[in-house]
Chain A
Amino acid sequence: MALNHDGRTKMREQDPQERIKNFDEVALGYTEEEAIREAKRCMQCKTRNCMSGCPVGIDIPGMIREISKGNFKEALMILKSQNNLPAISGRVCPQETQCEKTCLLNNVKGKKPIAIGRLERFLGDLNIELDEPVIEEKKDKKVAVIGAGPAGLTVSSDLAKMGYDVTVYEAFNKAGGVLVYGIPNFRLPKDVVGREVNYVESLGVKFVYNQVVGRTIPFDYLRERYDAVFIGIGAGAPRFLGIEGSNCNNIYSASEFLTRVNLLGANEFPVCDTPIKILDKVAVIGAGNVSMDSARVAKRLGARNVMIVYRRSEEQMPARYEEYQHAIEEGIEFHWLTQPLKYVGDINNNVKSMKCIKMKLGEPDDSGRRRPLPIEGSEFTLNVGMVIEAIGQKANSVLETGFKGLKLNRWSCIETDKNTGKTNIEGVYAGGDIVTGSATVIEAMGAGKRAAKAIHEYLDD
C-alpha cells in the first residue's frame, strides 16, 4: 500500500508516458484496504470542520467512520443523502479548496488532510445495491427541467423521488452537460456519468433529447404545459479574447475543441466523421481546469509541443492543483505572465504565430488577485500551429432571445433567490452555472437540491 510521509494514502495512477497515448482514466481509485486505511486517519473531530467546507453539507465524519469500520453500504447511504452523484464529485470537486481545506489535519504539523474526495469516489464506484429508493406516491403535477447537467439531473431525481412527473429537455443527444462534453474521459469516464444518468432514468424521469428550449421549442410552450419549470442550461457560450486575428483557422474555443473530441469522437477520425486538427505547436490560453483539460487532450491527440499561456503567475492559477501536477507530468509547458496581443495567419489564414507581451503583477483587483500589467517593450513572438482559447464561458445568447420575461443580473445570468432558486416568473426556478456563471459541479448540484425542495413547497400548496 502506497504511503506518503505526510500520512496520506496515495492513489495509484497511470504512468504519464503511457497515459498520454490513451484517454483512459489517469487516477485509478482506492482499493478497500486503502480506503479503510485512509479513513482511519480521521480524528472524528467534534467540531466537524471539514463539513463547513462542503457546499452541500455532507456528514463527512459520519461517512468516514463507517468506511473505517468497513461498513461501505452505510457510508454510501450517508453520502447519498446529501450528494446524488458521489462518483462524480469525488473525482472533480475542488476538494483542496473546500472540505479538505477546512479539515483539521491541516493544522497538525507534517500531516495532510484526509483525502475526502478519494473516499467519496471509492464509495461511488462500489457496485453496492442500495435499497430501492423510496418513491413517494405519484402526484399529478408535472415539472419540466431544461438542461441535463448536474443541476438539472439533481432537481430531476429529487423531484421524481417525491412523486412528481418530471421531463428533462436537453439540447444535446446525451445527458450530463459539461460532464460529458467538457470534462474529458481521462478525468471523468463517460460510463461513470452514464451510470448516474441511468439511475435518474430508473426513478421514472423522462428525457427528451435534441431540444434546444428557446429555439426548437418555445419556453412559453413548456410553461403552459407544466406546473413548474427548472432552468439549468449552464453557461456554455465561449468567450474569445477578441484580439486581431481571432478568426484565423485552427483557433478553437475550448468548448469547440472539447466538444469535437468528447461528444463527437474526433480523436477517432476517420472512424468518426468529425475531424480535428492535430498540429505540433499548440498554445492554450488561460490556466483554469478547462485549459488543463484542453492541453492534456491536445497532448493525447499527438501534439508534440503543448503550452499553456497565462497572463498571471502560477500562484493565481485557478486550475485544481492535482490537474496542474498531472499536466506537468504529461509534459505541458507553462508560459506565465504572458498575454497574447494578436494572431498572425499565413496565406491560407492558418494561424502561424502569436504576438505576446510579458506581464508583471500589480495591486490586487476585484477578485483579490494581483492585477497583471503589461511590461512595456517586452513584446515577443511565439510560433504556434494551433490555439485553444480557454478564457471562460458565459450564458448563451439564447437566454436573452428565447426566455423572454426572465430577469437577468448584470452578468447576463438569471437572477434568483439564493435559497430557493426562484426567478421573477412564478413557477420558474433556475440553478447552476446559468445563475452563478462558471462555477463547480457540486455547487450546481447544491442549487439543484435547494430548487427541488422549493419547487415541492410551491407545488404542494
Chain B
Amino acid sequence: MNNKIISKNKLASKIYEFHIEHDTISKFYQAGQFAIIRISENGERIPLTIVEAKTDYSRFIVKCIGKTTYKLALMKEGAELLEVVGPLGNPTEVDYFGNVVVIGGGIGIAPILPVARALKDKGNSLTVIIGAVTSEQIILEDELGKTADNLIITTDDGTAGEKGLVTERLEELITNNKKIDRIWAIGPTVMMKFVSAIAKREEIPCMVSLNPIMVDGTGMCGACRVEINGEMKFTCVDGPEFDGRFVNWNELIKRQHQYKEEEEKALENFKKEVGDLSWL
C-alpha cells in the first residue's frame, strides 16, 4: 500500500525518521531526489529529500520547524499520508571526481547521506564534514562514518567533535593543502552560501541542494525560481542541485522568508490546538 508510515523513530530532539511505503520511489529513486508530501486534506505540499529507498520502504528524515513538519512528527506508525509524490528533481551528478568533500549542516546532514554513498560507490576519496548546534543534534554519525574515508564532526558549542562551524573545518583542509576536486554542501542556506564563497575563491565546483519554497514541485508554478548565473531556473525541475558559486544567495534567503508571518501564525494556532510541543 502507498503512503503508509511503516515506522517512525526519534533521532534527536525535533528530528524524526520515517519509513514510508511507496512504489514509484522504491522502483525509480536515485540519490539527490526528493518527494512532495501532503499530510491531510487541508494540508500544505512540502518537499522532503528521500534519504534512502529500499524495495519495501523509503526513508525520510524531518526536522520540526513549522506547522506541517510538527504535524508530521505527531503522526503514528501505521497512519497514512494523504499524498507522496516522488521521486522528483534531477538526481545528483555522480561520477569519479577524485577527492570530494561532502558537508552537511543541521538537518542537511540527512540529505548528504545518499550523496555521500553514491560518490563513495564511484570510488571517490571522501571527506565528510557534519555540523550541528550541539552534540544531541548530530545524526547519522555511524552511517556516515562507515561511508566516509574521513568523518569530521563540529558543533557550535563544542559538545561533540571540534567547536566551531563547518566552514572553519573546510578552510582548515584547504590550508593543510588538501587537494579538493569537488564539494557538496547541504544545510541551512547561510551555510551553503558561505561554503560556496570559499569554493568560489578556491575555484572548486561546489554542488548545493537548494531549498526554496515549493508548491507543486513539478515545474508548473515558478514559486521555486532562483537566479543561477543571472538566469531564472526552477529548482524543482532544473535542480535541486546547482553549483553554489553561481547562486544568487541573498535573493533566495529573502524569498524563503516570504511567508514568515503566516507561518508563525499557523504554528501558533496549531500549538493552541494541540498543546505543548517542546517534548517532540
Contact = CB atoms under 8 A, between A and B. Distances in A.
Interface string A258-298: 01100011001111111101000000000000000000000
Interface in B240-261: 248, 251, 254-255, 257-259
A216 B266 contact: no
A212 interface: yes
B86 interface: yes
Interface stretch (B42-50, B139-147, B176-184): B42-50
Interface in B37-76: 38, 42-45, 67-68
Given A250-B258, A397-B238, A398-B237, A212 B88 contact: yes
A20 B232 CA distance: 35
Contacts of B45: 264, 274
B151 interface: no
A260 B221 CA distance: 9
Best-surrounded residue of B218, B222, B237, B263 (most CB of chain A within 10 A)? B222
B30 to A, nearest CB: 12
Interface stretch (A35-43, A192-200, A236-244): A236-244
Q: Is the interface of A mostly helix, strand, loop or mixed?
A: loop
B222 A253 contact: yes
Contacts of A348: 254, 257
Interface stretch (B120-128, B191-199, B202-210, B223-231): B223-231
A247 B255 contact: yes
Given A250-B258, A397-B237, A215 B220 contact: no
Nearest to A268: B42
A265 B232 contact: no
B223 A210 contact: no
Contact of A210 (B85, B255, B258): B85
Nearest to A215: B88
B219 A398 contact: yes
A255 B263 contact: no
10 contacts: A217-B24, A236-B220, A253-B221, A269-B262, A269-B266, A270-B265, A270-B269, A398-B219, A398-B237, A401-B237
Interface of B: 24-25, 28, 38, 42-45, 67-68, 82-88, 215-216, 218-223, 225-227, 232, 234, 237-238, 248, 251, 254-255, 257-259, 262-263, 265-266, 269
The 10 A-B pairs with the shortest beta carbon distances in the complex, nearest first, are: A275-B262, A256-B221, A349-B254, A273-B44, A236-B220, A253-B222, A272-B42, A210-B85, A249-B258, A396-B219
